[in-house]
Amino acid sequence: MITVTAAPGEIEKTPQGAGKGKKIYLIGTGPGKISLLTGEARDAIAESHCLIGASRLLAAVEELIPGKPREILTAAEGIFRFIGASAYPVLGVLFSGDAGFYSGARPLVQLLRRAACPFTVAGGVSSLSYFAGRLGRSWDDIQVISLHGRRREITGPVVHNRNTFFLTDAEMNPAAICAALDRDGFGDIAATVGERLSYDDERITSGAVREFAGLDFDRLSVMLVENPNPLPRPAGNYSLSDDQFIRSGVPMTKEAVRTLSISKLAPEDGDTVWDIGAGTGSVSCEIALRVPCGRVYAVERDPDAIALLEEHKKKFGLYNMEIVRGSAPGVLAGLPKPDRIFIGGAGGALGGIIGAALEKNPCVGLVINAVTLETLSALTPLLEDPRFTGTEILQAAVARAEKAGPCHLMRGSNPVYIFSGRGGGKGQGDAGR
């Protein structure tokens, strides 16, 4: 077992906790079957005067704790308060699987460290190691995604990894995950679902993702998805060239300005991004490639532009780009909260679009491109707008060399004004106060 004290520097800057002086065990109980408890986990359970944890875990070790006091608690704050108020000198906190593998032990560890309370970790068998063993394979090449209480992009990890292991929960269960993968065009790849691992009624089922989309699975389930043809992630500051896009009369943000604008927007993997007035889709496509675990909503009202967006989505395989047909700000009410928003064309509704974004996320990151003086004049007041921080406007004037007889001339394009900033966290009613 491993005994941990407070991290260096944390004792003096945090209050001393009432749990100090007690012996605290954080015990990994494995997948569920009592025979899979490690020796040190058994020893910790035996030594503890009181056991704390979910009712399922306490029931699983019932034969080891006959008559011992137990407390049904799962939230870290509640467990921490119980430890502090308890008169028991030795307490054991039970966690499913291994206490160091996507475990509820993490927030409790943070609380114990801040309060300078030493604790001892008794490791357990994780669901991943058990499941891999049941499948007769190694697990050092598996990407692990936890959906316990988390909502995130499903398809991104599968696209870029040969093997993806999902820890599921009641809402994001194997059927919901497979439905999302099938929707994004990955219904034919293989999946294996493990239900109630280690229990007498354990069930392991393999098949195509599409076959699992409408089935019912036990609440205690994990899933392995295997993609035989994973795509490599774009390296570095990836940029699409203009000639990779289908050209027409639909406006397009050109490569140099697009690269600068996306750099200012700084989308992170996992972000939800709105692209308002998506046009050809050059910005939407490039962001979607950069954030494979995020999702991009390309908002466009022009039918010709929508047709191009559909073609480019198919060409680049952008499972994480959704085309939203209609005018902003009207269609924005139905979109999820944005982390970033790019506005390439506002159609005279700039104020309404900004207001809609800030209402959903007062801290949203924002980049707006302007090519007309009228739009620039609307951007200028944003520099002093109290709803934003870190505001600036850049002018980008780009020239390219073009052949002119035996020589080359630099042919300039119209200047583009790039506004960038981030919401300061104030609600709409706080503006100007």
Q: Do domains 2-125 and 242-430 have the same CATH topology?
A: no
For residue 294, give the 3-state DSSP assignment.
coil
State the pLDDT at residue 347. 78
State the pLDDT at residue 264. 95
- Domain residue spans of the chain: 2-125, 128-226, 242-430
Q: Is the dihedral of CA 60, 66, 72, 78 positive or negative?
A: negative
**pLDDT tens track of the chain, all 433 residues?**
555 444 433 333 334 445 667 999 999 999 999 999 999 999 999 999 999 999 999 999 999 999 899 999 999 999 999 999 999 999 999 999 999 999 889 999 999 999 999 999 999 999 999 999 999 999 999 999 998 876 677 888 898 899 999 999 888 999 999 999 999 889 999 999 999 999 999 999 999 999 999 899 999 999 999 999 987 766 555 678 888 888 888 888 888 899 999 999 999 988 999 999 999 999 999 999 888 888 999 999 999 999 999 999 988 888 899 999 999 999 999 999 999 999 998 878 899 999 999 999 999 999 999 988 888 888 899 999 999 999 999 999 888 898 888 999 988 888 999 999 999 875 443 333 2
State the pLDDT at residue 1. 55
pTM, two decimals, is 0.71
Exposed, middle or buried by CB within 10 Å (0-12, 13-18, 19+), for 403?
Answer: exposed
CATH superfamily of 128-226: Tetrapyrrole methylase, C-terminal domain (3.30.950.10)
Q: What kind of architecture, by CATH, is found in domain 242-430?
A: 3-Layer(aba) Sandwich (3.40)
State the pLDDT at residue 400. 85
State the pLDDT at residue 433. 29
Q: How far is it, in rounded angstroms, from Cα 145 to Cα 131?
A: 15
Q: How far is it, in rounded angstroms, from Cα 43 to Cα 124?
A: 12
Q: How far is it, in rounded angstroms, from Cα 363 to Cα 357?
A: 9
CA angle 51, 56, 61 (to 5 degrees): 50
Q: What kind of architecture, by CATH, is found in domain 2-125?
A: 3-Layer(aba) Sandwich (3.40)
Render the burial of 409-427: b for 16+ CB within 10 Å, e for the rest.
eeeeeeebbbbbbbbbebe
